[in-house]
């Protein structure tokens, strides 16, 4: 694992997007308990989770996590990652607004610090210097240990890293972009090069393509019966069926689940020490954790990559 302080425990970052949304109350706590008991120490959330749900305003996931952290007394064991930048527009990256958003997250999370704080999206109309300096202020506040960038391309990420180095500001140490077997454009070779050359870590989201790579979406009826079906269909793209076929072949060879194979493929890609994946139930979590016991051969990695096009 990376020496970065926000990367700890088993090589899985538990996605918090389901908490307060499809996983609530005792069910959510059961997932979190199971993750902790399995050695999981990294949890990813955001202030915007789950603002897309009617009647929600964002912060629901952080609230659930804060309740769990406080009730279990395990805050010091965990590496807590959250984000800001999507509950509004570019005004969110004004220095005072970054601190305001951070303080609101800390209150919901019932903690005095976050281990990794992300700029959740880029606003290309803003000078990159403004974004770097605003998030540097979060670190200087003493409430943030490390910074990350999410949904940035290689040009803006490189500019941010260069400005931080030149100015002495806190630098982004992590990237969180979409990346999986069927959707690889947001972490292409150029961006991989920046991450590896500059010593960042990439913690990809949608590692299972909203469930598509579990193999549970095979027909139109499968897509129709899930709240994530439309998103899974979109992420699957034209190459989806051939990727599933390749996953089926490797599953037959290894005895592993498709989800475990898809995540095991991810951690063999440049700059990725751990994927982000979410689980609605403790049973789903145990299925995800299977990937830590899967050892894919170079040939299997190559076949899966080729199937993705």
Q: What is the pLDDT of residue 102?
A: 98
Q: What is the pLDDT of residue 198?
A: 97
Domains, the chain, ordered by start: 13-236+266-295 (3.20.20.100)
Q: What is the pLDDT of residue 308?
A: 85
Interstrand relation of 172-176 and 79-84 (parallel, antiparallel or unpaired): unpaired
The SS3 call for residue 280 is: coil
The SS3 call for residue 296 is: coil
8 Å CB contact between 47 and 12? no
Q: What is the pLDDT of residue 9?
A: 84
Q: What is the pLDDT of residue 224?
A: 85
8 Å CB contact between 276 and 266? no
CA-wise closest residue to 290 among 301, 300, 279, 280: 279
Q: Which two tokens stand for residue 226?
A: 């899930």
The SS3 call for residue 271 is: coil
**For each of the chain's 309 residues, which pLDDT tens digit applies?**
344 667 888 999 999 999 999 999 999 999 999 999 999 999 999 999 999 999 999 999 999 999 999 999 999 999 999 999 999 999 999 999 999 999 999 999 999 999 999 999 999 999 999 999 999 999 999 999 999 999 999 999 999 999 999 999 999 999 999 999 999 999 999 999 999 999 999 999 999 998 899 999 988 888 888 877 888 888 788 889 999 999 999 999 999 999 999 999 999 999 999 999 999 999 999 999 999 999 999 999 999 999 987
8 Å CB contact between 132 and 163? yes
Angle at 252 between CA 220 and CA 31, to 5 degrees: 65
Strand partners, 183: 180
Distance CA 26, CA 54 (A): 22
Q: pLDDT (tens digit, 9 = 90+) per residue, 193-242?
A: 999 999 999 999 999 998 899 999 988 888 888 877 888 888 788 889 99
The SS3 call for residue 37 is: helix
Q: What is the pLDDT of residue 4?
A: 62
Task: Sort 305 into a burial class: Cβ within 10 Å, 0-12 / 13-18 / 19+.
Answer: middle
């Amino acid at each position: 694992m990376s020496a970065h302080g926000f990367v700890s425990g088993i090589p899985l970052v538990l996605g918090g997007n389901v908490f307060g949304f499809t996983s609530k109350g005792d069910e959510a706590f059961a997932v979190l308990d199971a993750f902790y008991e399995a050695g999981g120490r990294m949890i990813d959330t955001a202030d915007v989770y789950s603002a897309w749900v009617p009647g929600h305003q964002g912060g629901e996931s952080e609230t659930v996590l804060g309740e769990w952290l406080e009730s279990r007394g395990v805050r010091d064991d965990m590496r807590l990652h959250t984000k800001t930048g999507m509950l509004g527009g570019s005004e969110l990256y004004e220095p005072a607004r970054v601190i305001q958003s951070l303080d609101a997250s800390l209150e919901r999370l019932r903690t005095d610090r976050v281990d990794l704080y992300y700029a959740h999206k880029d606003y290309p109309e803003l000078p990159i210097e403004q974004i770097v300096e605003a998030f540097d202020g979060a670190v200087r506040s003493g409430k943030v240990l490390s910074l990350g960038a999410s949904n940035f391309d290689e040009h803006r990420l490189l500019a941010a890293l260069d400005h931080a180095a030149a100015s002495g500001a806190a630098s982004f140490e992590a990237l969180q972009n979409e990346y999986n077997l069927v959707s690889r454009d947001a972490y292409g070779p150029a961006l991989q090069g920046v991450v590896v050359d500059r010593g960042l870590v990439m913690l990809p989201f949608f590692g299972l393509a909203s469930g598509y790579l579990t193999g549970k979406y095979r027909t139109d009826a499968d897509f129709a019966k899930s709240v994530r079906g439309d998103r899974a269909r979109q992420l699957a793209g034209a190459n989806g069926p051939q990727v599933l076929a390749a996953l089926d072949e490797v599953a037959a060879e290894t005895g592993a689940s498709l989800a475990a194979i898809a995540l095991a493929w991810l951690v063999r890609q440049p700059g990725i020490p751990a994927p982000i994946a979410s689980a609605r139930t403790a049973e789903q979590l145990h299925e995800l954790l299977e990937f830590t016991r899967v050892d894919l051969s170079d040939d299997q990695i190559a076949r899966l990559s080729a199937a993705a096009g």
